[in-house]
Amino acid sequence: MEIDLTPKLAKQVYGGNGGSYHAWCPNELPMLRQGNIGAAKLALEKNGFALPHYCDSARVAYVLQGSGVAGIVLPEKEEKVVAIKKGDGIALPFGVVTWWYNKEDTELVVLFLGDTSKGHKAGEFTNFFLTGANGIFTGFSTEFVSRAWDLDENTVKTLVGKQTGKGIVKLDANAKLPEPKKEHRDGMAFNCEEAPLDVDIKNGGRVVLLNTKNLPLVGEVGCGADLVRLDGKAMCSPGFSCDSALQVTYIVRGSGRAQIVGPDGKRVLETTVKAGNLFIVPRFYVVSKIADPDGLAWFSIITTPNPIFTHLAGSIGTWKSLSPSVLEAAFNVPSDVEKQFRSKRANEAIFFPPPN
């Protein structure tokens, strides 16, 4: 049975005055379930507050828009209060409790991508809220909570029942939450838009990697990530993940064309991608993209902490490593054609500027 790889937009799961939570559905994007990948977005309006919760999956968060504050509590650790802004990548291992707050006029939007293989539902994140109308403690009897917290039952009823919101609430403008601490960012967040470039091709594109070198917690999450910005009409070399990893791609900005090719040279996807789209490249399938005139940017996770790619064009492509006689035999062409082929893209790697 063929898998539908068509890019999809997220749909709202819940929300209110404070903001909304959106997710991609495995029924609409089957590769989520098959690849055990979850994908969701949190959007907070001004004074929007995402109540403290934990997730059944380790995730990588990426701030798509705005700025705000994230509270992060790693298991058996003290709370880290982190200032976050557009371009930040944040690793969220298993068991981490988080809250999110936006006090600015601009909407705060955070993307979540991660492996759901240990979660309750393949291809979906399940969040467990500590407070609110759907909080964990609404399910326990007052007696149990009273014993656990060492409080009288009336106080317990107030604590458990006072917050009537679900997941996201809007706080009063005068609400005071902890101020972020600069030192708390260390090891917790890494800004992909401000970081030194790992790849920079003039008129082609730029790449910043998110891995265990610049954000060690990525190792605990089990996923690496990258931010790729492709210039107008430039091309990203056909390539594949050579360590059996899935590549999950969210289009951050712009638009362009994408093609994916699988076994037996079958083109399994040819489509136009645009901001907000999410699509998944199956293991070992080859993908390539060409940006529209305004450029194309995407954020991807790869289901291994330090991914390795094999490129099938350009100066670092596999072709350059193969012997001339091997290529002549493989393509069934004379040496002059092989030499012409080998001479192209001799000084261009990964990204190719538009033709003159």
Q: Which two tokens stand for residue 306?
A: 């330090």
Please write the tens of the pLDDT for every residue from 81-126: 999 999 999 999 999 999 999 999 999 999 999 999 999 999 999 9
Which residue blocks in 210-334 are alpha helix, DSSP H?
218-221, 318-321, 324-331
Please write the tens of the pLDDT for every residue from 165-221: 999 999 999 999 999 999 999 999 999 999 999 999 999 999 999 999 999 999 999
SS3 assignment, position 168: strand
| pLDDT the model gives residue 312 | 84
Options 3.30.750.24, 2.40.30.10, 2.60.120.10, 3.30.70.80; CATH for 8-132+167-185 is: 2.60.120.10
Please check whether the two domains, 8-132+167-185 and 192-352, share a CATH topology.
Answer: yes
How far, in Å, are 158, 238, 288 from residue 313 at the CA level? Answer: 64, 6, 10
> What pTM was estimated for this model as a whole?
0.94
Closest CA to 286 of 304, 305, 306, 270: 270
| pLDDT the model gives residue 320 | 84
Domain boundaries, the chain: 8-132+167-185, 192-352
Q: Which two tokens stand for residue 272?
A: 């136009």
From CA 338, how far away is CA 324, in angstroms rounded? 7
How is domain 192-352 classified at the CATH fold level? Jelly Rolls (2.60.120)
| pLDDT the model gives residue 318 | 83
| pLDDT the model gives residue 286 | 94
For the four alpha carbons of 116, 120, 121 and 124, in that order, the dihedral sign comes to negative
Q: Is the per-residue pLDDT at 348 higher than 80?
A: no
